[in-house]
Amino acid sequence: MCGIIGYVGHKQALEIVVAGLRRMEYRGYDSAGLAVIADGGLEVRKKAGKLSNLEQLLGEDPLPSSTTGIGHTRWATHGGPTDRNAHPHVSSDDRIAVIHNGIIENFHTLRTELEAAGVQLESETDTEVVAHLMAHTLPEVGNSLPLAMQAVCSRLQGAFTLVVVDRNQPDVVVGARRNSPLVVGLGTDGNFLASDVSAFVAHTRHALELGQDQIVVMKADSVVVTDFDGNVVEAKPFDIDWDASAAEKGGYELFMLKEISEQPKAVADSLLGRIDENFRITLDELSIDPAVLQHINKVIVIACGTAAHAGMVAKYAIEHWTHLPVDVEVASEFRYRDPIVGPDSLVIAISQSGETMDTLMGLRYAKSQGARTLAICNTVGSTIPRESDAVIYTYAGPEIAVASTKAFLTQITATFLVGLFLAQVRGTMFEDEIRGILADLDDMPRHVDLVLDTAEPIRELARSLASARSVLFLGRHVGYPVALEGALKLKELAYMHAEGFPAGELKHGPIALIEEGIPVIVIVPSPKGRAVLHDKIVSNIQEVRARGAQVIAIAEEGDESIIPFADHIIRIPAVPTLMQPLVAVVPLQIFACEMATGKGHDVDQPRNLAKSVTVE
């Protein structure tokens, strides 16, 4: 949510900043803007809408050459998506330019104070106050940018990543970080600050993690990190294990299509090195003592959106394998009730970005109650894993399309590893049982590949249903979170009314939505798993068909018994019951993508959304 980049070095800042914004545009596309320091002055260009609007402006009104610059792509919170509200914001004396990600909660008080002092604010944003406060503070601290940043940060409440440049100090960029992401890229021709490593991975794969409440002072040949009191701290270096091409479309028309196609590899990579030659789980990176895991009496999964759906799948598996109760909580609700969580709880925070504020706040609450915490995360060095006791990284590679696809499959995979590991250390399963499941899991990339190879019928179906006003999704057992995920994908990409239900719940109210011709997509459980689930869903299908619905069954290969009950059947490979979500969700992702494309929507950057939601 909002992408930030800063560069100072020996190369032209403009190209670096614009390319960085291009890579981070998925974080917000309400406006884009940048500032460079040239010939002793600040030059700012900004424009509402997508980055292409800014690029057009830069064509009409080019910038002078400069080796110091900052840039921002915005997801609007305070103030509409207008040119005036676009970042950077500049102090009244044109000395300071600032970009920001987060929400400054006390901006109103600060704004009133500045207005009383005669400052005229130009925008409706919470950010602009920082530019004026910096300009007022600098003369009081001997024009030291780090000291001014410390003083200003001590006055701000809320979440903020700030990056600031000063017209009078063209060789330095200063950043500050509280509760929103910021990483440093260490280059040979200069250094970078960005919300996300994708912004600078084309230039360097060496990076530094910044902690909470830290300030970074960056010059072409040096980077100094301090806390908010000015004490120097040692930032943890890390290397980025993918290259720039991983964050490019690689011949695909859409990032989402590329990411859907990468799912077999993403699952395989997330299993790599975690199953030994004897099919035992080796979660070497799990730094929670097995003795502790033997004594927990409850698992709580906190996550949002798609990641929460992965958590719901995990609940069925972990309860089945370990007999531990597993609660799955939408993270934004978790800490605002009085959850029963304590030292005997294992709290698993699932997050692709590792920066989702709702999840982060839930995690902090769980820690404050003494819980053991484990992150399942796709972004090395991000906040959620950094603040957890342990982390299992997923290896989906960069997910650029705003709607999550490959991360979902890897999150399920990782939770399964954790569940089986718990079963292993707690002795709730026989070793040969665990081996059998791991062998099945190991086989899943092949099955997902098969779904991708046979996806044409679901595309055709999406085209034939282009005029549908609403689509319902039904599932039972692990098919229920898949139904929720199918509906979420359709809502966010095709902007259609779509809902997912547990199939048995329909008759308790939602069945009133059924009208003549409405498409109902049903995730059919394997008849070989728990036959009763299959029988029950057939009854649910009959109930909606009797009321005019057209039923699309997502059913496993070889399930002939479903044929009389469905108007269309999309076949998926027969896999063990608990693994079905890994194959059943893929046609639903493709369905939503095709529907959205047919409607002419921007699939990679759906309206109103942004990836990595860093506000509560």
d(CA 476, CA 314): 14
Binding track over 361-400 against ligand F6R, x by CB under 6 A? ----------------------------------------
Q: Would the CA dihedral through 134, 139, 143, 146 be positive or negative?
A: negative
Residue 490 within binding range of ligand F6R, rule CB under 6 A: no
Selected range binding ligand F6R among 258-266, 340-348, 353-361, 572-580, rule: CB under 6 A = 353-361
Residue placing its CB nearer to ligand F6R in the complex, 320 or 601: 601
Residue placing its CB nearer to ligand F6R in the complex, 96 or 303: 303
Name which position in 85, 195, 353, 394 contacts ligand F6R (CB under 6 A): 353
Residue placing its CB nearer to ligand F6R in the complex, 492 or 556: 492
Would you say 31 and 82 are in contact if contact means Cβ atoms under 8 Å apart? yes
Nearest approach in angstroms of CB 493 to ligand F6R is 8
d(CA 189, CA 446): 43
Residue 461 within binding range of ligand F6R, rule CB under 6 A: no
Q: Which residues of 369-398 are buried (b: 16+ CB within 10 A; e: fewer)?
A: eebbbbbbbbbbbbbbbbbbbbbbbbbbbb
Nearest approach in angstroms of CB 5 to ligand F6R is 20
Residue placing its CB nearer to ligand F6R in the complex, 305 or 445: 305
Residue 77 within binding range of ligand F6R, rule CB under 6 A: no
d(CA 200, CA 24): 10
d(CA 149, CA 134): 7
DSSP strands (E only) in 458-563: 470-475, 497-502, 519-523, 550-556
Residue placing its CB nearer to ligand F6R in the complex, 281 or 498: 498
Tokens standing for residue 184: 């440093």
Selected range binding ligand F6R among 23-31, 151-159, 346-354, 558-566, rule: CB under 6 A = 346-354
Residue 179 within binding range of ligand F6R, rule CB under 6 A: no
Residue 415 within binding range of ligand F6R, rule CB under 6 A: no
Nearest approach in angstroms of CB 242 to ligand F6R is 17
Residue placing its CB nearer to ligand F6R in the complex, 6 or 486: 486
Nearest approach in angstroms of CB 490 to ligand F6R is 11
d(CA 278, CA 270): 18
d(CA 28, CA 504): 38
Residue placing its CB nearer to ligand F6R in the complex, 351 or 424: 351
Binding track over 288-317 against ligand F6R, x by CB under 6 A? ----------------xxxx----------
Residue 614 within binding range of ligand F6R, rule CB under 6 A: no
Q: What is the H or E stretch that residue 158 is in? A: strand 158-166
Name which position in 296, 403, 420, 423 contacts ligand F6R (CB under 6 A): 403
The residue of the chain with the least Cβ separation from ligand F6R equals 305
What's 352's DSSP letter?
S
d(CA 295, CA 496): 46
Residue 33 within binding range of ligand F6R, rule CB under 6 A: no
Q: What angle do CA 55, 598, 611 make, to 5 degrees?
A: 50
Residue 198 within binding range of ligand F6R, rule CB under 6 A: no
Tokens standing for residue 215: 């300030």
C-beta atoms surrounding 126 within 10 Å: 24
Name which position in 195, 345, 351, 410 contacts ligand F6R (CB under 6 A): 351
Nearest approach in angstroms of CB 193 to ligand F6R is 21
CA distances for 538 relative to 97, 151, 490, 564, angstroms: 62, 65, 24, 10
Residue 492 within binding range of ligand F6R, rule CB under 6 A: yes
Residue 451 within binding range of ligand F6R, rule CB under 6 A: no
Residue 404 within binding range of ligand F6R, rule CB under 6 A: yes
| CA 86 to mean position of chain CA atoms | 23
d(CA 104, CA 35): 21
Tokens standing for residue 294: 């033997």
Q: Which residue, 165, 407, 161, is CA-closest to 270?
A: 407
Binding track over 83-122 against ligand F6R, x by CB under 6 A? ----------------------------------------
Nearest approach in angstroms of CB 99 to ligand F6R is 21
Residue placing its CB nearer to ligand F6R in the complex, 401 or 455: 401
Tokens standing for residue 201: 């991975």
Side-by-side strand order, sheet with 326-330: 326-330, 298-303, 345-351, 372-377, 390-393
Name which position in 150, 204, 352, 614 contacts ligand F6R (CB under 6 A): 352
Which residue type occupies 166? D
Nearest approach in angstroms of CB 130 to ligand F6R is 26
d(CA 476, CA 530): 11
Report the DSSP beta bridge partners of residue 9.
Answer: 190
Nearest approach in angstroms of CB 414 to ligand F6R is 12
Residue 71 within binding range of ligand F6R, rule CB under 6 A: no
Number of residues that bind ligand F6R (CB under 6 A): 15
Q: For the chain, what is the total number of helices (H) and then of strands (E)?
A: 19, 24
Q: Which residue, 328, 584, 603, is CA-closest to 473?
A: 584
Nearest approach in angstroms of CB 2 to ligand F6R is 14
Four-CA torsion 432, 433, 438, 440, nearest 10 degrees: 110
Name which position in 322, 359, 589, 597 contacts ligand F6R (CB under 6 A): 359
Residue placing its CB nearer to ligand F6R in the complex, 351 or 597: 351
Q: Which residue, 421, 350, 408, is CA-closest to 581?
A: 408
Active site residues: 2, 611
Nearest approach in angstroms of CB 353 to ligand F6R is 3
Side-by-side strand order, sheet with 173-178: 89-90, 96-104, 158-166, 173-178, 214-218, 223-227
Q: Are strands 372-377 and 390-393 parallel, antiparallel or unpaired?
A: parallel
Q: What is the H or E stretch that residue 462 is in? A: helix 456-464
Nearest approach in angstroms of CB 349 to ligand F6R is 8
Selected range binding ligand F6R among 32-40, 279-287, 348-356, 553-561, rule: CB under 6 A = 348-356
Residue 613 within binding range of ligand F6R, rule CB under 6 A: yes
Residue placing its CB nearer to ligand F6R in the complex, 175 or 305: 305
Residue placing its CB nearer to ligand F6R in the complex, 492 or 559: 492
* Contact residues: ligand F6R, CB under 6 A: 304-307, 351-353, 356, 359, 403-404, 488, 492, 612-613
